[in-house]
Amino acid sequence: MRQIGASVGVAVLGSSLNSAYRNNIDDDIPAALPELAQEAIRDNVAGALRVAEKLPEAQEGTIADSARDAFVAGMSMVSLICAGLAAVTAIVVVALLPARDKTPLLTESARPQAKAGSTTP
């Protein structure tokens, strides 16, 4: 279950990050860029920074900043999702834990000694 949970978690959180990144970067991509460069920017922040390095200085800063901001926005969303899942998990665990016995356990030396000649075990 741990391996399945980890795999599904990475897939879901990775998809969420990618979706948020793409949603935040789409508006900042100049239409004058070639289609291949636009796709590299949409793919990931590393691709966006590689494209930005090849552009004139004014456009480079704008695209690099937009890519970084979009990535941070995506990571913020993923962090909120993780925090929400952790809170829900904590509530479920507390609700499903069995009740604890509130009487303290007696150690061997603290138990009352049986009287000599007593027939009770």
Residue 51 has pLDDT above 80, yes or no: yes
Say what the pLDDT of residue 91 is. 96
Q: Quote the tokens at residue 83.
A: 């925090």
15 Ramachandran zone, left/alpha/beta (phi>0; psi -120 to 50): alpha
- Please compute Rg for the chain using Cα positions: 29
pLDDT tens for each residue of 70-104: 999 999 999 999 999 999 999 999 999 887 777 76
| 52-61 confidence digits (pLDDT tens) | 998 887 777 8
